[in-house]
Structure 1
């Protein structure tokens, strides 16, 4: 009986130690969780307080291909470099923060659905770039042309709105550079073709006359070798 009691006591003691260890581990986990949650909460409060301290004016609007039309009905300029690098298309929702010093800070908050087209870059009569794709001429920002170093004749990938009709597109990449100069270098001009044609004709004429000259020589030799009749 005493042995059984000792064994039971050992088991009870072992279970108590396990529970104690588990509770200690649980307390440590709770402490870590509180610390992590506390850091996140502090970070959020700090962000809000920074915005409150800046006291910036926030305006939301829609990008129309060049500028933002605010919900207040006013137009706000969008930096061309930002629009090109962000590949903005007509219909994208933007948030504009105007800081106390007058700086404009844009953020894309609602991108519209997009589709991709393959087109060719060209210049119009006024020297403005456009991309011809699927039978339509899309306007593009000059900053996109400069950023990708696009030249007339280059094949490009164009991003446009999927669900609305738009005159504007954003260049995503250059697929193939224009190789027109190389092609023109190996294609003979009309004058060269004409000269080659004339030289071929002259060669044919010489070939046609050559047999006749040989026959004349033979006849002349025969006449010289034939004794004259007195």
Structure 2
């Protein structure tokens, strides 16, 4: 029976072969080569399958960056939210428990040694997928991680990768937002007066408030005729007192 160190070495070789195949496939796509149907290159890896007395099935496999690869080479879907929050890295050993009711329960039982690197978040124009450029390589990352950290293109991203082992996937550990990103997330929109809810230009151009009540009409002043001037110099009425 192979020792633990040999098993680790075999897993690393399998991961390296898979990564090289992914790189070669991407180069073919970039060169414009027509796509052909090929069988899965995933090979059986170390692990076990057990069945409990209660009817549950326990499967051990290796995380490939997106799924768990079982000992028979079968892929088991790993929830993206779980993989993102747990910061799973390629090569991590997982245990999957399939309960009698069909629910899947994952548990990380053998994390590989990790390396922390810093890169920049980018988006592939062809696939519209996010990538992290670090150490001259584009690493694939889960969309759930980008959504969780509310990251944007150009942000610095701290990722975890297997130490000393080539990998095509990375686990997002943290995000260092570029300048001005936090203000936008706080709901501060440039050019908007958030206290009154109008733009800055509208605040200066807004008319003065209308006073309450019925608007006062200005009196109409007509020209005074000469006859009126004569009548004004006439004797005052009897009920007035002239001084």
TM-score (normalised: structure 2): 0.51
Cross-structure match for 1:211: none
Cross-structure match for 2:135: 134
Matched, 1:155 2:156: yes
Cα deviation code 1:94-147 (max 9, x no counterpart): 000000011000000000000000111011113211011111111000000001
Aligned-pair distance for 1:52? 5.0
Distance 1:81 1:114 in 2: 20
Cross-structure match for 1:174: 175
Matched, 1:144 2:150: no
Distance 2:56 2:105 in 1: 10
Cross-structure match for 2:97: 97
Distance 1:163 1:103 in 2: 35
Contact 1:151–1:178, Cα closer than 8 Å, also in 2: no
Matches within 5 A, 1:28-47: none
Cα deviation code 1:24-69 (max 9, x no counterpart): xxxxxxxxxxxxxxxxxxxxxxxxxxx9563210000000000000
Distance 2:165 2:152 in 1: 28
Cross-structure match for 1:164: 165
Distance 2:177 2:149 in 1: 12
Cross-structure match for 1:61: 61
Contact 1:117–1:133, Cα closer than 8 Å, also in 2: yes
Distance 1:101 1:177 in 2: 46
TM-score (normalised: structure 1): 0.54
Runs of 4 or more consecutive aligned structure 1 residues displaced over 6 Å after TM superposition: none
Aligned-pair distance for 1:175? 2.0
Q: What is the number of residues matched between the two proteins?
A: 132
Contact 1:114–1:161, Cα closer than 8 Å, also in 2: yes
Aligned-pair distance for 1:179? 4.4
Distance 1:75 1:155 in 2: 32
Aligned-pair distance for 1:164? 1.4
Q: Structure 2: state its 5+ residue gaps.
A: 1-50, 184-189, 191-243
Contact 2:151–2:177, Cα closer than 8 Å, also in 1: no
More helix by share: 1
**Cα RMSD for the two superposed structures:** 2.0
Aligned-pair distance for 1:72? 2.3
Q: Does the residue aligned with 1:55 lie in a helix, a strand or coil?
A: coil
Distance 2:179 2:57 in 1: 46
